[in-house]
């Protein structure tokens, strides 16, 4: 039986570098989600405070916001492959330090928050290099959208497996084992990076000041409303809607009267929904209206938040957790897919750094905001308000986005 790889959901695997990257990241991302789940659970167990969870997310994400623009310039100036080798090795060292801290049993919350901030600094350089490098891994540029969607599917497969596995490990062995598994998982991605082969890197002929390159990236965004409008959408979602996950431990422990395993299964169901959304995107055919899919998924997310917020029984909440995952990942994935496909090659690193700045800047502020509000009015009412806000955002951008058409003339560097 012959399979037409050109139209296959997995056609990006024809590219050796991408297949290696996917394999290594698949292992590493599971460890990353295990660590992320364990950190939040440890902090909530120590403090019993939703606002402190928000502060923990702030500690990890805000350094990425501060440094992501600088990271974007570095990604456009230097060899992204080597940048990733450095950042992934640094992430492994951070996980090892966290493991040692927890396993020795002599730790306080500020030590955990400090290591979270260190990871945020590493991610400020990792994300702007890793996202555009998908283009470098794919030989046939027709496979780029498929590769980005499969990348998202891989992350969400990890989001499905990682939290559920973390919940079980937390319950049986404790957080230290979760962190040690994450540290070991980085070996896979580092090996995959070492096995990749790229053409010799050519540095830009003209070296400008960093401030000039940042200003050039900002001007490019202003001149390309089809991209800047999507960045604005990411800002709105990251500040007001996506931080609903700040309240997951509260629902697991307080509303559903569960334990670490309950939290893990809840996060796993959200990951399942996100995985389904990612595979649907990966299966999208040429000519698919990604902008309309993005807007419809925000509506799905809003309805999911409203319905989940009304649940008081764990079993009844799980289907709506899947809907949450489906709705929350698709707007971000489609936005990044559109931006990477439409951004000019010489601007891609800086454009992605502005995307990272929008996400990493607003998400920690949103987590602080949502954590504080839920502490005052309760998690269910806070999530209900987020669902209504998501529907309002979808209505606003339904009016704005169709009026903006991409200008493909910016793809050619003048």
The predicted structure's pLDDT at residue 34: 92
CA distances from 53 to 46, 246, 294 (A): 10, 6, 28
For 48-106, write each residue's pLDDT tens digit: 887 888 888 888 888 888 888 788 888 878 888 999 999 999 999 999 999 999 999 87
Tokens 């950190």 -> residue = 39
The predicted structure's pLDDT at residue 11: 81
- Cβ atoms 36, 367 nearer than 8 A: no
For 168-221, write each residue's pLDDT tens digit: 899 899 899 999 999 999 999 999 999 998 877 776 666 667 677 778 888 888
Tokens 């599917």 -> residue = 153
DSSP 83-137: HHHHHHHHHHHHHHHHHHHHHHS---HHHHHHHHHHHHHHHHHHHHHHHHHHHHH
- Cβ atoms 345, 411 nearer than 8 A: yes
Which has more pLDDT, 244 or 148?
244
Per DSSP, the three-state class of 334 is: helix
The predicted structure's pLDDT at residue 373: 93
**Distance in angstroms (rounded) separating the CA atoms of residues 325 and 332:** 12
For 284-341, write each residue's pLDDT tens digit: 776 677 788 889 999 999 999 999 999 989 999 999 999 998 888 788 878 877 887 7
Q: How confident is the model at residue 382 (pLDDT cuts 50, 70, 90)?
A: very high
For 3-59, write each residue's pLDDT tens digit: 444 457 788 888 899 999 999 999 999 999 999 989 988 898 888 887 888 888 888
CA distances from 178 to 38, 107, 117, 325, 396 (A): 7, 16, 19, 23, 41
For residue 89, count other CB atoms closer than 10 A to its CB.
15
- CA quadruple 159, 112, 91, 74: dihedral sign: positive
- In eight-state DSSP terms, residue 286 is T
Which has more pLDDT, 340 or 378?
378
For 255-267, write each residue's pLDDT tens digit: 999 988 898 889 8
Per DSSP, the three-state class of 196 is: coil
- In eight-state DSSP terms, residue 2 is -
CA distances from 185 to 4, 35, 169, 202 (A): 33, 11, 15, 31
**Distance in angstroms (rounded) separating the CA atoms of residues 261 and 167:** 4
Q: Six-digit token pair at 376? A: 């005052």
Q: Six-digit token pair at 93? A: 């060292």
The predicted structure's pLDDT at residue 407: 46
The predicted structure's pLDDT at residue 129: 86
Phi, psi (deg, nearest 5) at residue 287: 90, 0
- In eight-state DSSP terms, residue 356 is H
- Cβ atoms 95, 150 nearer than 8 A: no
CA distances from 401 to 130, 230, 294, 338 (A): 27, 8, 10, 12
Q: Six-digit token pair at 166? A: 């973390």
**Distance in angstroms (rounded) separating the CA atoms of residues 342 and 153:** 21
């Amino acid at each position: 039986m012959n399979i037409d790889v050109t139209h296959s959901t997995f056609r990006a695997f024809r590219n050796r570098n991408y297949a290696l990257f996917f394999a290594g990241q698949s292992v590493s991302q599971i460890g990353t989600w295990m660590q992320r789940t364990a950190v939040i659970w440890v902090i909530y167990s120590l403090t019993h405070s939703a606002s402190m969870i928000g502060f923990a997310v702030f500690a990890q994400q805000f350094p990425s916001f501060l440094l992501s623009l600088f990271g974007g310039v570095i990604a456009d100036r230097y060899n992204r492959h080597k940048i990733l080798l450095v950042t992934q090795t640094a992430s492994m060292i951070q996980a090892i330090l966290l493991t040692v801290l927890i396993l020795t049993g002599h730790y306080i919350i500020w030590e955990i928050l400090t290591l979270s901030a260190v990871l945020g600094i590493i991610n400020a350089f990792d994300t702007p290099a890793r996202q555009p490098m998908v283009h470098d891994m794919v030989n046939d540029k027709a496979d780029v959208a498929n590769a980005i969607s499969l990348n998202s599917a891989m992350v969400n497969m990890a989001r499905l497996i990682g939290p559920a596995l973390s919940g079980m490990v937390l319950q049986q062995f404790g957080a230290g084992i979760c962190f040690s598994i994450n540290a070991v998982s980085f070996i896979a991605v580092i090996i995959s990076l070492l096995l990749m082969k790229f053409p010799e890197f050519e540095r830009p002929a003209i070296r400008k000041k960093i401030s000039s390159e940042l200003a050039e990236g900002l001007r490019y965004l202003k001149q390309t409303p089809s991209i800047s409008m999507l960045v604005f959408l990411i800002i709105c979602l990251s500040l007001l809607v996506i931080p609903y996950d700040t309240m997951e431990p509260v629902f697991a422990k307080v509303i559903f009267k569960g334990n670490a395993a309950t939290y893990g299964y809840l996060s796993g169901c959200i990951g399942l929904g996100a995985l389904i959304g990612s595979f649907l995107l990966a299966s999208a055919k040429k000519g698919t209206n990604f902008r309309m899919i993005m807007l419809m998924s925000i509506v799905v997310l809003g309805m999911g938040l409203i319905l989940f917020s009304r649940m008081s029984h764990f079993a009844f909440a799980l289907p709506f957790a899947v809907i949450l995952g489906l709705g929350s990942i698709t707007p971000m994935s489609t936005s990044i897919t559109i931006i990477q496909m439409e951004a000019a090659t010489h601007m891609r690193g800086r454009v992605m750094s502005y995307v990272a700045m929008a996400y990493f800047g607003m998400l920690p502020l949103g987590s602080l905001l949502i954590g504080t509000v839920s502490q005052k009015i309760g998690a269910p009412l806070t999530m209900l308000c987020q669902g209504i806000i998501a529907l309002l955002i979808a209505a606003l951008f339904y009016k704005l986005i169709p009026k903006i058409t991409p200008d493909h003339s910016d793809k050619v560097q003048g």
